Amino acid sequence: MFRNQDSSANNQVLRPGIFFDRDGVLNVDSEYLFEIDKFVWTDGAIEAVKAVNDAGYFAFVVTNQSGVARGFYEETDVHVLHDWMASQLALRGARIDAFEYCPFHPHGVIERYRCASARRKPQPGMILDLLNRFPVDAARSFVVGDKPSDMDAAHAAGLSGHLFQGGNLRDFITPLLANE
C-alpha cells in the first residue's frame, strides 16, 4: 500500500533516491508503532531527510507494517502517522516524496492481510513499485535500513544498502550523499 505525496514525477529527469526504512531509522523502534504520542524521531532524522532533499534526491519510506495483519492497528492509523510525519518534516522544510508500507504477514490474524507478499521486505516489491512510479536513477540510489531484511530487499531490487545501527542519521547520510 502506498501514499504519494507527489505523483507528478513523470517526464522528469532521472534523480537518485534514498529508500528509508521507517522504524529504527527515521524513528526510534518501539514495536508496532502507530500512535503519534509514542513517536520519537531518531537523532538527526529530520535533518537527514532535508539533506537528501537539498541534494536533489527523492526521499522515500519503505516500511513493513505487520501490525495491521496482526490486528494491532488499522491501515488508517498508518496513514494518520505518515501524514503527521510529513507535516512535521514540512515544518523544517523537508519532505518524503512517497510513503510505501506493507500491511501483510503470512501469520496475520486478520484474514484479508494474512498472506505472503512480494511487497514485504526482504522482498523488493515496495522499492520496485517506487522505481516504476518515479523517475529514479537506480544506479545512484540506495536503501538505508536497520535490519538484514532491508539490505536483502535493497539487493533484490538492484540497489546498494547501508545498515544504520544508531547514532545521528544526518551524520550517517551526509558522507553517503557526498560519495554519489
Active site residues: 21, 23
Contacts of 140 (CB under 8 A, 6+ apart): 16, 180
Residue that is written with C-alpha cell 516489491 in the block:
125
* CB atoms closer than 10 angstroms to residue 9: 16
Q: Which amino acid is at 97?
A: D
